[in-house]
Amino acid sequence: MADVARIAGVSPALVSIVMRGVPGASDETRHRVKAIADRIGYVPDRRAQKLRQTQSRLLGVTFDLQQPFHGDLVEHVYAAAERHGYDVMLSAVAPTRDEESAVQALVRERCDVALLLGSGLGTRELTEIDARIPVVALLRSSGVDAIGSVRGDDVAGIGTAVDHLVQLGHRRIAHIDGAGAPGAEDRRQGFLAAIRRHGLDEHARVVAGGMTETEGAEGMRQLLASGEVPTAVVAFNDNSATGVLDHLLRRGIDVPDDISVVGYDDSRLSRIAHIQLTSISHDVAAVADAAVDSGLARLAGEQAEDVVLAPTLVRRRTTAVPRER
């Protein structure tokens, strides 16, 4: 900044005014100072600026690096944050980096709010973090009255998937669940409730799965090895569903003529040309908007609230009338 001021023949304070875009400099001065800054490669130090502010105007986001749907959601969080004049700091959860490390990075960077996507943290850990930085849990209930959440109605979403398959004529329907993943219990209970509603308890099965392709494939292997092979499978998420599709392809089983497959999340995976997966869709933009609004409301001192959004089914090529009716 001192270099820009010296070349422009003005004070560093005036350069600061120009760079911050606040009143106090003429248009001619602003143009000249910015041109000089561009020429010598000056970039304002945003982190230093934030240290002088009461609020950092940073929204922190943790997300799972291996979940495509989280990437879809992050894209919309950026847009929602920008509308409020906020920047976004991402902190990834990965096989070599746990969620607690990801959250602590947001705290160290003085983020104003933490949006936790698909958090696996327990109520005690969430409460401890919320004491330092307002937390909003995305894609699951927080389980804590003082901590808000934004999520889809997973019970209704899985029910919609079952309804779709029943309407096509399926009677032997299985669910490869998410094991202990966030939202797995709601989706499991939603599946069983929908099955009971249609009177299909006798032929329905739930097998252990998970969030990954490998776990989806293993769940499908178990179903094929059972005495009664289903004509349709509802997977915990799109990742799991792609594992199901891969296993069926390797076994020479046709999708959807032999077995229909439904995913969950309607992530970018489901829209790939050679996959075209029928999936339960969240309104991703609405989830992002609600999450940012909820976080900023907490920052302003408002009470936490749970926002539950209705999902919808997007039909593609992996579901059809069963060959056996």
Average pLDDT, the chain: 92
Whether the per-residue pLDDT at 50 is higher than 60: the answer is: no
Whether the per-residue pLDDT at 49 is higher than 60: the answer is: no
Scan for tokens 């998410």, then name that residue: 178
CA distances from 246 to 220, 249, 256, 261, 296 (A): 10, 5, 13, 11, 42
The tens digit of pLDDT for each residue in 247-285 reads 999 999 999 999 999 999 999 999 999 999 999 999 999
Task: Check residue 23 and give its pLDDT.
Answer: 82
CA distances from 271 to 51, 68, 232, 266 (A): 43, 12, 20, 8
Whether the per-residue pLDDT at 90 is higher than 60: the answer is: yes
How does DSSP assign 241-269, residue by residue?
HHHHHHHHHHTT--TTTT-EEEEEE--GG
What's the sign of the alpha-carbon dihedral 239, 240, 246, 248?
negative
The tens digit of pLDDT for each residue in 117-175 reads 999 999 999 999 999 999 999 999 999 999 999 999 999 999 999 999 999 999 999 99
pTM: 0.80
- List strand residue ranges (DSSP E) for 102-239, in order: 113-117, 135-138, 148-152, 173-176, 205-207, 232-235
CA distances from 243 to 30, 37, 182, 239 (A): 57, 52, 19, 7
Whether the per-residue pLDDT at 213 is higher than 90: the answer is: yes
d(CA 287, CA 309): 8
The tens digit of pLDDT for each residue in 294-304 reads 999 999 999 99
